[in-house]
Copies of this chain bind each other. A is one copy, B any other.
Amino acid sequence: MLIGELAERAGTSTRTLRYYEAHGLVHPQRSANGYRVYDEAELRVVREIRALLDVGFGLDDVRPFVACLRAGNASGDVCPDSVLVLRRKLAEVDEYLDRLGAVRQQLHTQLTHAIAHREETCPRRRASAP
């Protein structure tokens, strides 16, 4: 299959596929006229890449998973390097969740105080004094 078909089947663009290739994630054959030719395996690889990128991975994080798939495994997750990345990413996500939770708390506090301030300085009609 050519690049256009793969792009459509993988739900991405030809530009993206060439980008992945330039970064060493995909290795298509070339036909006589220089066109990139992909097989079904590459489709699975591209879908793996996309799935991981959607979850917040970078291209470098994705490499072990691609290698794992290419090594013949049914899933890109099962190789040691992939597991390492999964652990690291999970830790990163946990850390970010913590920070974001703290931020949420702070925003909530700020908002609460701001509202309280408004009630103080410009009381609503039905509040206390007429």
Interface residues of A (CB under 8 A from B): 55-56, 75, 77-78, 82-83, 86-87, 89-90, 93-94, 96-97, 100-101, 103-104, 106-108, 110-111, 113-115, 117-118, 121
Contacts and interface: CB of A to CB of B under 8 A. Distances in A.
Given A78-B118, A118-B78, A104 B113 contact: no
A78 B82 CA distance: 49
Contact of A56 (B56, B83, B90, B103): B103
Contacts of A89: 107
A45 to B, nearest CB: 17
B107 A93 contact: yes
A97 B100 contact: yes
11 contacts: A77-B114, A77-B117, A78-B117, A78-B118, A93-B104, A94-B104, A96-B100, A97-B97, A97-B100, A97-B101, A100-B100
Given A77-B111, A78-B114, A97-B101, 20 more contacts: A55-B106, A55-B107, A75-B113, A75-B114, A77-B110, A77-B114, A77-B117, A78-B121, A82-B114, A83-B114, A83-B115, A87-B111, A90-B104, A90-B107, A90-B108, A90-B111, A93-B107, A94-B104, A97-B97, A97-B100
